[in-house]
Chains A and B, each alone.
Chain A
Amino acid sequence: EDQVTQSPEALRLQEGESSSLNCSYTVSGLRGLFWYRQDPGKGPEFLFTLYSAGEEKEKERLKATLTKKESFLHITAPKPEDSATYLCAVQAINGSGNTGKLIFGQGTTLQVKP
Chain B
Amino acid sequence: EAQVTQNPRYLITVTGKKLTVTCSQNMNHEYMSWYRQDPGLGLRQIYYSMNVEVTDKGDVPEGYKVSRKEKRNFPLILESPSPNQTSLYFCATKGAHHNEQFFGPGTRLTVL
Could you tell me which A residues sit within 8 Å of B by CB distance? 31-32, 34, 41-46, 49, 87, 89, 91, 100-107
Q: Please, what's the 1-or-0 string for B66-100, where 1 marks a CB less than 8 Å from any CB in chain A?
A: 00000000000000000000000010100000011
Please tell me if the beta carbons of A100 and B44 are within 8 angstroms of each other in the complex.
no
Question: Which of A34, A43, A103, A106 has a CB less than 8 Å from the CB of B40?
Answer: A106
Please tell me if the beta carbons of B103 and A43 are within 8 angstroms of each other in the complex.
yes
Please tell me if the beta carbons of B48 and A44 are within 8 angstroms of each other in the complex.
no
Please tell me if the beta carbons of B42 and A46 are within 8 angstroms of each other in the complex.
no
Q: How far is the CA of A20 from the CA of B69 in the complex (A)?
A: 43
Q: How far is the CB of A21 from chain B (nearest CB, A)?
A: 14
Please tell me if the beta carbons of A49 and B44 are within 8 angstroms of each other in the complex.
no
Known: A41-B106, A45-B103. A102 touches B45 (CB 8 A): yes
